[in-house]
Amino acid sequence: MKTTTTTLIIALFFQSIITSQNNIVTINKNNLNTSYLTEGKKQYLVYRESKDGDVLDISIWERTIKFSKLNNKDAIVIEQHWKKPKAEKFRTVYSICQKENFYPIYHYAKVGTTKKDAFDFTSNHIKGSDSIIQNSKKDFYLKLKEPTLNWELDLETFQCLPLKKNTTFRINFYHPGSPNGPNYYNYEVIGEDTITIGSADKVDCWLLKIKYERDNHAIFWIDKNNREVLKMVEVWDGIKRYKIKLF
């Protein structure tokens, strides 16, 4: 009897260790759920804050999702407008993804009134698009070992994740045109939180964290119901950056 009890205790101990460890989920075409994405416009207040609490810059990001067809296949179009004070440069971003798996097809970005970047994506390469006149990245070419996701659409990507406790997602992200190639980044569900939106509504959220280096990191508050990112707090060398969804 004593031996049986000891064996049971040891088994329960190791089971508790296993269940406390994070499940590692590599995100691919089979486990992104784009049905959480809905048509419409969202707005985010985005600003940076110094160590002393001074606001360094501020802007409004508009992100509009539309469903469309491309070559007779379902596609998702996401248009972004980053609005800043008149004297500063604004930014426009236009992206197309496959609706089935959210893999990128096309990406266009314009800063101010002149600089334009445009890219065409396939499963094995990214190249400068010939669809835009004066494309600053017209000679760009990057061979891919595997498909990558568009890091400029991180908020929408998070909305498609199979979020649950004790899970770390390995996501192959790439910022179009960056000299740093695609790479896997770990996003860990570190817990849960309830935040208040509007005057009284309380929303239960998942907390999703990415750690960059040293103490640099970002945490996203994601609505458990519709999976929208409601808030982000990022810390980089003591400077904080916020994204707050406007209602």
pLDDT of residue 21: 66
Please report which confidence band the pLDDT of residue 171 belongs to, taking 50, 70 and 90 as the band edges: very high
> pLDDT of 194-234, one tens digit each?
999 877 789 999 999 999 988 899 999 999 999 999 999 99
CA–CA dist 47, 98 (Å, integer): 31
Q: Cα separation of 210 and 169, whole Å?
A: 10
| Dihedral sign computed on CA atoms, order 104, 184, 137, 139 | negative
Q: Give residue 3's region: left, alpha or beta (phi > 0; psi -120 to 50).
A: alpha
pLDDT exceeds cutoff 80 at 72: yes
Average pLDDT over residues 94-115: 94
Domains in the chain: ranges and CATH? 23-245 (2.50.20)
**CA–CA separation, 228 and 113 (whole Å):** 31
Most confident of 7-11, 88-92, 138-142: 138-142
Taking 50 as the threshold, does the pLDDT of residue 123 lie above it?
yes
Once rounded to an integer, what is the mean pLDDT over residues 101-110? 97
In whole angstroms, what is the distance from residue 103 CA to residue 122 CA? 9
Task: Write out the DSSP string of 78-140.
Answer: EEEEEE--TTSPPEEEEEEEETTT--EEEEEEEETTTEEEEEEE-SSEEEE-SSSTT-TTTT-
